Amino acid sequence: MTDPRVTLAGVEFAGPAFTASGCAAAGKELAGFFDLTEIGGVVTKSIMMRPRSGRPTPRMVETPSGMLNSIGLQGPGIESFLANDLPWLAERGVAAVVSIAGETVEEYAQLARILRNEPDVKAIEVNISCPNVESRGQVFACDVMSASSVIHQVRRNTSSTVPIFAKLSPDVTSIAEIALSCHNAGADGFSMINTTLGMAIDTDTLRPILGGVTGGLSGPAIRPIAVRNVWQVHHVLPDVPILGMGGIATGEDALQFIAAGATAVSVGTMTFHDPSAPLRVQQELLGLLDERGFASVSEAVGVAHRGGLV
Amino acid sequence: MTDPRVTLAGVEFAGPAFTASGCAAAGKELAGFFDLTEIGGVVTKSIMMRPRSGRPTPRMVETPSGMLNSIGLQGPGIESFLANDLPWLAERGVAAVVSIAGETVEEYAQLARILRNEPDVKAIEVNISCPNVESRGQVFACDVMSASSVIHQVRRNTSSTVPIFAKLSPDVTSIAEIALSCHNAGADGFSMINTTLGMAIDTDTLRPILGGVTGGLSGPAIRPIAVRNVWQVHHVLPDVPILGMGGIATGEDALQFIAAGATAVSVGTMTFHDPSAPLRVQQELLGLLDERGFASVSEAVGVAHRGGLV
Amino acid sequence: MIQADAEILSVRRDGAYYHMSFAAPGIADGFRPGHFVAIAVDDAHILRRAFSIRSASTKAGGALQIIVSPKGPGTQWLVRRRAGDIINVIAPLGQPFRLPTEPVPCVLVGGGYGVAPLFELANQLRARGCGVEIIVGAGDAARLHGVVEARRVSDAVHVTTDDGSAGEQGRVTDPLRRILAEGRHPAVYACGPMAMLQAVSEVSAEFGAVAQCAVEESMACGVGVCMTCVLPVIGDDGVTRMVRSCTEGPVFFGDRVRWSDVGTVPADTLGSPEARDD
Amino acid sequence: MIQADAEILSVRRDGAYYHMSFAAPGIADGFRPGHFVAIAVDDAHILRRAFSIRSASTKAGGALQIIVSPKGPGTQWLVRRRAGDIINVIAPLGQPFRLPTEPVPCVLVGGGYGVAPLFELANQLRARGCGVEIIVGAGDAARLHGVVEARRVSDAVHVTTDDGSAGEQGRVTDPLRRILAEGRHPAVYACGPMAMLQAVSEVSAEFGAVAQCAVEESMACGVGVCMTCVLPVIGDDGVTRMVRSCTEGPVFFGDRVRWSDVGTVPADTLGSPEARDD
Ligand SMILES: Cc1cc2nc3c(=O)[nH]c(=O)nc-3n(C[C@H](O)[C@H](O)[C@H](O)COP(=O)(O)OP(=O)(O)OC[C@H]3O[C@@H](n4cnc5c(N)ncnc54)[C@H](O)[C@@H]3O)c2cc1C
Ligand SMILES: Cc1cc2nc3c(=O)[nH]c(=O)nc-3n(C[C@H](O)[C@H](O)[C@H](O)COP(=O)(O)OP(=O)(O)OC[C@H]3O[C@@H](n4cnc5c(N)ncnc54)[C@H](O)[C@@H]3O)c2cc1C
Ligand SMILES: Cc1cc2nc3c(=O)[nH]c(=O)nc-3n(C[C@H](O)[C@H](O)[C@H](O)COP(=O)(O)O)c2cc1C
Ligand SMILES: Cc1cc2nc3c(=O)[nH]c(=O)nc-3n(C[C@H](O)[C@H](O)[C@H](O)COP(=O)(O)O)c2cc1C
Ligand code: FES
Ligand code: FES
C-alpha cells in the first residue's frame, strides 16, 4: 500500500487530503460523518481578529458544476476560536491548519503573534484573498507588493517550526509571479486555488443575486483552472509544497493535482455534496497511487512535469 | 414584440445573438441547421495571414459543464478566407464579423489593411488572446501595452465605418484596466470573454491530456466568470458596446449578460451541443425581454447596474 | 444523523406537489417533527436539496415521506424518479420543534407544502394531551396540501386560500387571529413562506402566544459548515447574530427572528461592518 | 442531416455492448453505410457522443440502430436509458464508404464495435453483385460483435481474437493477408481502432488493394465547426493537411492517412509551425 503520510514543509500529516478553508467550519460538524484524524487535517474557516457578521443573504447561487458564494468571512474572531474550536480539535488529535485573514497587513501580523503561543497549530494558511482596506480595497493576493508584505509579516511573527502557506487567488495575470514573491517573502508553501470571482444575475428582477454582488466561484467547474495554476507554480518552484484544491470530487481529480505538482489536496465545495468527501477522496487517491506503483504520495508529486508514467 | 435589431458601434445587426469565433467555422456548416440571416451575424474563426495547421491532437477534453480546447488557430489564412468564405456569407446576406489574429503587432496591421478593401466586412473582432512572439510569448490581451498597440494599429488601418471589437481575455488581474487602454487605443467595443486557461491530466498516463498541454476553458462552467467580467467593463465604460459570451446556453443566460452590460451576445461552445443554439438563444432572449416589457434590446443593456426591474 | 443511499418506494402526484417515500434504515429512529432531509440530485447540480420530513415510519426497516414542489431543476429531477431508483440522503438534520411540557392547546399553521412537518407534530402533541387546531393555507386550491390528513390528526382544521378557490378567502392569519382571540392557546407552530412566518409571529406576539417557526433559507451544505443559510436572530443575551438555519434552525422562536431584516445584516449585529467601524 | 428528438425503442445488452434502437423520422432516407449519428447525453456533459449507424430502417417512420460500448460517463448514461425515453440526435453525419462501380469481391474488416457499419455495407455491396468476406476481430470473445449477423450478409466470415477465446487467435490482418494473397480483392473496408486501421491499410497497400477506413477521433461538435477531430491526411495535390474527420471523414482512403503521425502535426503539413518558420 502507498504510505498515506505526507510531509508539508517539514510537518508530517496522516494523509494527503485536507478539508478546505470555509468548507468545514472548524471541523466539529464533519466529525459526525468521518474520523477527522484519518485525513491530513482540518483547514479552518479563515479567522479574523474580531467577530464578523459576514455579508447579507443570499450568499450563494448554484451554477453549472459549481457555486458562487459571498459569505464575507463570517466568524467568531480569534479569541473565541482559541477558546472553543482549537481545543476541540486538539483534544481529539485532529491536525489543525489555521487559516487567517485580515484587512490590513498589521492585522495578519497580530493574528500570527497570537497564534505563536498555540502549540496545537500545525500550520498556518494565510488567506490573502481579502480586500486590503489600506489600498483601495485591492485584494492582497492580486498584488505582488501587498501579498508579499502580508507573508513577510506573518513569517516574522510565526515560530519557525510552523510552516505558513500562502493561499493564492487565480484572479491574476501571472500566478507564478505572485508565488515567487510570496516565496521570497517567506512562504513555506502555497494553498491554491482560492475561488475565482464570478457573478450571477436574477433574470426576473434583473439584479445581481448575491448580497455581495460578486462572489467566489468554486466546485468542479473551476477544476481545470486550478490544475493549470498548480502546474504553473510547480513549474517555477518545484521544491515548494502545494496544497492543491479547486473542484476536487474524486480520487482521480486529486491525482490530477498531485501529478501537476501538489503534495496534498483540500476538498472544499464537494463536501457540501458529500460530507465525507475528504476521507473518501483520500482513500480513492491512495488506491490509485497504489495501483500505479507509487510507494508514497511524494513520489507522484509533479510527475506530469517529468513525462508521466513510463 | 421587442425589436430584435441591435446597433453595435453604429452598425445595425438583425438580432442580438451571434456565433462565437472558433465555434462556427466560417458559418457554412451551420447553415444546414438554421437561417444565418436571422441572427445578428457570424463571427468567424480567427483568421491569420497564412495557413496554419494548429496544434497536435488531442485538442479537446470535456470538463464539468465545460470543455478545454487547444486548437491552435488552425485555418486557411486570409487569402483563402477572402476567396472562399467571405463571399459565401456575403452572397447569402449573412452579416460577417471577421475575427483576426496575429503573432506580431504588424501581422494584425497587415490583416486590417487587407480587410480594408472588403465591403462585406461588417465589423472586425480582434482576437488578442494570442502569444506575442516579440514579447516572450506573453499573450497580447494580458498586457496593457501589447493589447493597446494591436488595437491602435488595427484601428489606424481600418475604415472608420467598420467598428473594431477587442476580444478580451479574463486571465488578467484587472479586466477594466485592459479595457480602458484598448478603448483609448481605438477599440469601438469589446468581445468578452475569451476562454480562460485551464488544463487536465490523464490519470492513467499522468501526462497532460491536450496536445497543447494547456487549453482554453469554455462552456457553462465559466459563465459566472464571464458575467462578472462584462459587469466590470460596463461599469467603467458604460457607453462602449460589449458582445458578451461565455457559457451561454439559453435565453436566460443571455439575459444575464445583457443586464450586466452586453449589447449583444455570442453563443460558442453550446453550439457543439445544439447547432441551432445561436438562433434558439436569440428567440428565447427576445421572448424574455418582451415579457419584461422592453421595447428594444438596448433598453435592457446594463439594467442590473441601475437597480434592475422596478 | 445518517448519510445513506435510499431506495425510492413511491412517487405520487398530489395537486401541485409530489409525495415521495423512500427506504431509510435507521433514520426514522432519530426523527422528530421539524427535522429535514438533504437529498443529492443529478450530477449537473452539486448541492443537495432540503425537504421537511413529513413522516417517518420505523416499519420495514424505516421509510421517510416528503412533499416536493417541483420548482427548479433539482426538484424537477427528483419528482421524475421512479420506484426502485436510488437517491443519497442525509437525515435527520436541524433542530426540531420543541414540544410543550404541559398538555396545552396548540395552533399549527402551514403554508403550501409547509404543512409537511405538521402532521407528525400534531400526532405527538395529541399524544401528550395537547389540543390541536391546524390552519392550512395556500395561494390557491391546487397548492393546498394535506387538508384531509390534517382533519385526521387534529381537533379542527381551518383552510384559507388567497384567491378563495378553497376554504375561506384570505390569509392564514385570519383564522389564527380568531383562535388566539379565544385566549386559550399559548403555543403556535408554523412552517411556510417567510412572509407568512413573520405575520404568524406578529399575531402570536400580539396575543402573548409563543410561536415556533420552521424557516426556509437557501442552503448549500445543510450540515453547518458553509454559512450560507444565515438570518439575523436575537440570542438569549439580547445580541443579534447571523445564525445558521440548518443547524441552529430551521425551527426558531418567532420573536427571536428579525423578520424585517432577513436578507440584510442589521447594523447592531455582532461583527457587522457598522459595529466594526469603531 | 436532421436534428431531432428521438424516442428510444429498445436497449438490449449483447456481450460487452448494447444494441440501441430509436425512432428517427426522415434520417433513414439519407443514410449510407459509414455515416454516424451524434447524440446528446445528460445535462452534466455538454458534448455529443458519436456512433456509427449500424442500420436504418425506413419502416414505421424510420428507426436507427447503433451499438454502444459503455466506456465513460456519456455512453454509460446512454445505455441506462429505457424504451420511451427521448434523446436528441443529429444524423446522418460524415462521408460514407464509397461503393465500387464494378461488381468486385470486397473484404470488410471490423474491430470490436467497429463492425457496426459493415452489415449494411455488406448488404449494399452484395446488391451490386460484389462478393463479400467479413473479418470480425476483438480482444476477446465478449467484445466480438455481430458474428452471426455477419454470416447472414456475407459469403464468408473470419473471426479472430487476441486471446483466442473465440475464432482464430491473432489479429484481423492474419486472415486479411491470406485473403488478399488470393489476388482477387481490389477493395478493403475497415472500421475499428486506429492501430487496426493502420495495419489494415498497410497490408492492403502491400497487396495493391484500396482500403477505406472509418476513423474514430475525439469530436467536440461532429458537424465541422470546431476543428478538434483532425488528423494528418494527404490531399490529391500531395500536400498534407490537418483534416476534419467529422465532415471530410470518418471514412478516408487508408493510403491517404498518415497513420504513424496521428497525434502530431508532421513538419511538412500545410501551415505547420516548421513550415511557417521560413
Ligand atoms: C429546511 C427546509 C425545508 C424545506 N422543505 C421543503 C419541502 O418540504 N418541500 C419542498 O418542496 N421544498 C422544501 N424546501 C425548499 C426546497 O429545498 C427548494 O425548493 C429546493 O432546494 C429548490 O431546488 P431546485 O433545484 O428546484 O431549485 P433551484 O432554484 O435550482 O435551486 C438552486 C439552489 O438553491 C437552493 N434553494 C433554492 N430554493 C431554496 C429554498 N427555498 N430553500 C432552500 N434552498 C433553496 C437549492 O438547494 C439549490 O442549492 C425546504 C427548504 C428548507 C431549507
Ligand atoms: C465516427 C465515430 C463513430 C463511433 N462509433 C461508435 C460506435 O459505433 N459505438 C461506440 O460504442 N462508440 C463509437 N464511437 C466512440 C464513442 O463516440 C465514444 O466512445 C464516446 O464518445 C465516449 O463517450 P463517453 O462519455 O463514454 O467517454 P468520455 O471519455 O467521457 O468522453 C469524453 C469526451 O470525449 C469524446 N470521446 C471520447 N472518446 C471518444 C472516441 N473514441 N471517439 C470520439 N469521441 C470520443 C466524447 O465524445 C466526449 O466528448 C465512435 C466515435 C466516432 C468519432
Ligand atoms: C462557502 C465557501 C466558503 C469559503 N471560505 C473560505 C475562507 O474563509 N477562506 C479561504 O481561504 N477560502 C475559502 N473558500 C475557498 C475554498 O477554501 C477553496 O479554496 C475553493 O472553494 C476551491 O476549492 P473547491 O472547489 O474544492 O471548493 C471558501 C469556499 C466556499 C465554497
Ligand atoms: C473550440 C473553440 C475554438 C475557439 N476558437 C477561437 C478563435 O479562433 N478565436 C477567438 O477569438 N475565440 C475562440 N474561441 C473562444 C470563443 O469564441 C468564446 O470566446 C469562448 O469559448 C467562450 O464562449 P463559450 O463558452 O460560449 O464557448 C474558441 C472556443 C472554442 C471552444
Ligand atoms: S447550509 Fe451550510 S451552514 Fe447552513
Ligand atoms: S468534431 Fe468539430 S470539426 Fe469535427
Give, for A87, the enclosing helix (H) or strand (E): helix A86-91
Do the Cβ atoms of C251 and A57 come closer than 8 Å? Answer: no
Same domain, C110 and C178: yes
* pTM, to two decimals: 0.97
Q: B155 C-alpha vs ligand 4 centroid, how far in Å?
A: 23
Sign of the dihedral defined by the CA atoms of residues B19, B22, B27, B28, in that order: negative
Pick the closest to residue D24 from D52, D69, D58, D50 (CA basis).
Answer: D58
Pairing of strands B189-192, B164-167: parallel
Same domain, C46 and C147: no
D44 contacts on C by Cβ (under 8 Å) = 42-44
Same domain, D88 and D108: no
| B119 C-beta neighbours (distance < 10 Å), count | 9
Q: How far is CA C87 from CA A62, A270, A281, C54, C77, in A?
A: 20, 17, 20, 17, 11
Q: How far C174 CA sits from the closest chain A CA (Å)? A: 30
3-state secondary structure of C176: helix
Counting atoms of ligand 4 from 1, which one is nearest the CA of B195? 20
Residue in chain D lying closest to B68 (CA) = D220
Counting atoms of ligand 2 from 1, which one is nearest the CA of D114? 8
By the 10 Å C-beta count (0-12 exposed, 13-18 middle, 19+ buried), A277 is classed as buried
- Across C229-252, average pLDDT: 97
Instruction: Look up residue C92 and give its DSSP letter.
Output: E
Which 14-53 residues of chain D touch chain C by CB within 8 A? 42-44
Contact state of B204 with A68 under an 8 Å Cβ cutoff: no
Counting atoms of ligand 1 from 1, which one is nearest the CA of C73? 25
Per-residue model confidence as pLDDT tens digits over C116-126: 999 999 999 99
Pick the closest to residue D185 from D251, D117, D122, D130 (CA basis).
Answer: D130
Same domain, D138 and D240: no
Same domain, C223 and C233: yes
Do the Cβ atoms of C251 and C213 come closer than 8 Å? Answer: yes
Q: Looking at the predicted structure, is the pLDDT value of residue C19 above 70?
A: yes
Give, for D198, the enclosing helix (H) or strand (E): helix D194-206
Return the CATH number at D53: 2.40.30.10
Calculate the CA dihedral of residues B63, B65, B70, B74 and round it to 10 degrees: 140
Contact state of A198 with B66 under an 8 Å Cβ cutoff: no
Same domain, D102 and D186: yes
Q: D49 C-alpha vs ligand 2 centroid, how far in Å?
A: 5
- Across D113-130, average pLDDT: 96
Note the CATH number of domain B6-306: 3.20.20.70
CA B279 – CA B36 distance, rounded (Å): 8
Counting atoms of ligand 6 from 1, which one is nearest the CA of D246? 4
CA D223 – CA B42 distance, rounded (Å): 16
Do the Cβ atoms of C114 and C193 come closer than 8 Å? Answer: yes
Return the CATH number at C188: 3.40.50.80
Minimum CA distance residue for ligand 3 atom 14: A22
> Nearest CB to A206: which of B198, B205, B304?
B304
Give B284's pLDDT tier (boundaries 50, 70, 90).
very high
Give the residue ranges of DSSP H helices in chain B: 78-80, 86-91, 105-116, 144-156, 175-184, 223-236, 251-260, 270-273, 277-291, 297-300
Per-residue model confidence as pLDDT tens digits over A64-93: 999 999 999 999 999 999 999 999 999 999
3-state secondary structure of B144: helix
Q: How far D42 CA sits from the closest chain C CA (Å)? A: 8
Instruction: Look up residue C210 and give its DSSP letter.
Output: E
pLDDT for D276 equals: 61
Contact state of B57 with D217 under an 8 Å Cβ cutoff: yes
Give D29's pLDDT tier (boundaries 50, 70, 90).
confident
Domain that holds residue C228: 218-278
Domain final residue, candidates D40, D62, D93? D93
The grid cell for B23 is 465555434
A208 contacts on B by Cβ (under 8 Å) = 231, 304
D42 contacts on C by Cβ (under 8 Å) = 42-44
pLDDT for C276 equals: 61
> Nearest CB to B25: which of D218, D224, D273?
D224
The grid cell for A168 is 493564492
Per-residue model confidence as pLDDT tens digits over D53-99: 999 987 777 899 999 999 999 999 999 999 999 999 999 999 999 99
Do the Cβ atoms of C8 and C85 come closer than 8 Å? Answer: yes
C264 contacts on A by Cβ (under 8 Å) = 56
The grid cell for B78 is 486570409
Do the Cβ atoms of C213 and C267 come closer than 8 Å? Answer: no
Per-residue model confidence as pLDDT tens digits over C76-115: 999 999 999 999 999 999 999 999 999 999 999 999 999 9
Domain final residue, candidates D76, D93, D110? D93
- Is A130 one of the catalytic residues? yes
Calculate the CA dihedral of residues B229, B231, B236, B237 and round it to 10 degrees: 100
What average pLDDT does chain B have? 96
What average pLDDT does chain D have? 94
Contact state of C46 with A62 under an 8 Å Cβ cutoff: yes
Same domain, D99 and D201: yes
Report the neighbours of C using a cutoff of 3 or more CB pairs below 8 angstroms: A, D
Give, for A107, the enclosing helix (H) or strand (E): helix A105-116
3-state secondary structure of B172: coil
pLDDT for C278 equals: 46
pLDDT for B130 equals: 87
Q: Tell me what percent of chain A is helix, strand and coil, each rounded to the nearest 5.
A: 35, 20, 45
pLDDT for B127 equals: 97
Same domain, D31 and D79: yes
Same domain, C122 and C201: yes
- Across B113-125, average pLDDT: 96
Domains in chain C, number: 3
Residues of B forming the active site: 130
Ligand nearest to the CA of B97: 4
Q: In what order do the strands lie in the sheet with B164-167?
A: B17-19, B264-267, B242-244, B189-192, B164-167, B121-127, B96-100, B42-43
Per-residue model confidence as pLDDT tens digits over C28-65: 888 999 999 999 998 889 999 999 999 998 877 789 99
Q: How far is CA C2 from the centre of its chain?
A: 20
Count the residues in chain B: 310
Minimum CA distance residue for ligand 2 atom 35: D218
- Across D3-16, average pLDDT: 93
The region that residue A55 occupies, defined by phi over 0 for left and psi between -120 and 50 for alpha, beta otherwise, is beta
Same domain, D39 and D83: yes
> Nearest CB to D218: which of B30, B32, B57?
B57
Cβ of residue D242 lying under 6 Å from some atom of ligand 6: no
Give C277's pLDDT tier (boundaries 50, 70, 90).
low
pLDDT for A310 equals: 79
Q: C224 C-alpha vs ligand 5 centroid, how far in Å?
A: 4
Q: Looking at the predicted structure, is the pLDDT value of residue D278 above 70?
A: no
Per-residue model confidence as pLDDT tens digits over C156-175: 999 999 999 999 999 999 99
What are the per-10-residue average pLDDT scores of chain A (310 residues)? Answer: 96 98 97 97 97 95 97 95 97 98 96 95 96 85 95 97 97 97 98 98 98 96 98 98 98 98 98 98 98 97 95
Q: A134 C-alpha vs ligand 1 centroid, how far in Å?
A: 40
Minimum CA distance residue for ligand 6 atom 3: D224
Per-residue model confidence as pLDDT tens digits over B131-178: 888 888 889 999 999 999 999 999 999 999 999 999 999 999 999 999
> Nearest CB to B206: which of A68, A203, A309?
A309
3-state secondary structure of D232: strand
Assess C102–D contact: CB distance below 8 Å, yes or no.
no
Assess C60–A contact: CB distance below 8 Å, yes or no.
no
Minimum CA distance residue for ligand 3 atom 19: A194
Cβ of residue B191 lying under 6 Å from some atom of ligand 4: no
Give the residue ranges of DSSP H helices in D36-186: 73-79, 118-127, 147-152, 173-181
- Across C269-273, average pLDDT: 93
For a pocket test of ligand 3, which of A97, A195, A223, A265 has the largest count of ligand atoms closer than 8 A to its C-beta?
Answer: A195
A300 contacts on B by Cβ (under 8 Å) = 206
DSSP string for A244-298 = E-SS--SHHHHHHHHHHT-SEEEE-THHHH-TTHHHHHHHHHHHHHHHTT-SBHH
Do the Cβ atoms of D239 and D270 come closer than 8 Å? Answer: yes
Terminal C-alpha separation, chain B: 20
Same domain, D89 and D45: yes
For a pocket test of ligand 5, which of C39, C48, C215, C219 has the largest count of ligand atoms closer than 8 A to its C-beta?
Answer: C219
pLDDT for D57 equals: 86
D222 contacts on B by Cβ (under 8 Å) = 272
The grid cell for A250 is 474524486
Pairing of strands B242-244, B264-267: parallel
The grid cell for D166 is 473465440
Domain final residue, candidates C38, C71, C93? C93
Same domain, D106 and D136: yes
Q: How far D40 CA sits from the closest chain C CA (Å)? A: 14
What letter represents residue A169's amino acid? S
- Across B194-215, average pLDDT: 97
CA B137 – CA B128 distance, rounded (Å): 12
Give C24's pLDDT tier (boundaries 50, 70, 90).
confident
Cβ of residue B153 lying under 6 Å from some atom of ligand 4: no
Q: What percent of chain D has pLDDT over 90?
A: 90
Do the Cβ atoms of C222 and C207 come closer than 8 Å? Answer: no
